[in-house]
């Protein structure tokens, strides 16, 4: 069994920066890809940024590439997402998730198979 604990996020003004962290416990040997998704009210959950098991490959949705940076520390089973130049339309709940098969399809980061979701962290960007 894998458990996810998320931290970070919060409120920031437009153009500001925030960081999200995700630590995984339990059967961590099972984990392949890790990363972040987001979902706003009435919107579909979408991939934001993913990272491969060895941290050698990263996968970003077009909407965040160049502004968000994902990093992974396997010694701590932690993934962090540094978000810069945040915009009001990115006010969402952000979810950490593990999965198999990191990829980018039609400009969106996604898993082949999602395995475990975190509870979500709110990011609020005010103008």
Interatomic CA distance for residues 34 and 114, integer angstroms: 10
Residue 57 has pLDDT above 90, yes or no: yes
CA distance 108 to 62: 7
**pLDDT, tens digit, for every residue of 13-54?**
999 999 999 999 998 888 899 999 999 988 999 999 999 988
Which pLDDT belongs to residue 104? Answer: 95
In degrees and rounded to multiples of 5, residue 109 shows phi and psi of -70, 140
Q: Is the pLDDT of residue 86 over 90?
A: yes
């Amino acid at each position: 069994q894998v458990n996810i604990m998320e931290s970070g996020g919060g409120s920031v003004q437009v153009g500001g920066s925030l960081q999200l962290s995700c630590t995984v416990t339990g059967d961590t040997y099972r984990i392949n890809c890790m990363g972040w998704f987001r979902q706003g009210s009435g919107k579909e959950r979408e991939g934001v940024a993913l990272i491969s098991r060895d941290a050698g490959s990263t996968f970003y949705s077009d909407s965040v590439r160049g502004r968000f940076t994902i990093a992974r520390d396997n010694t701590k089973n932690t993934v962090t997402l540094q978000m810069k130049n945040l915009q009001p339309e990115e006010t969402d709940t952000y979810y950490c998730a593990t999965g198999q098969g990191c990829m980018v399809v039609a400009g969106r980061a996604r898993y082949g198979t999602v395995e475990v979701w975190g509870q979500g962290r709110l990011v609020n960007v005010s103008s």
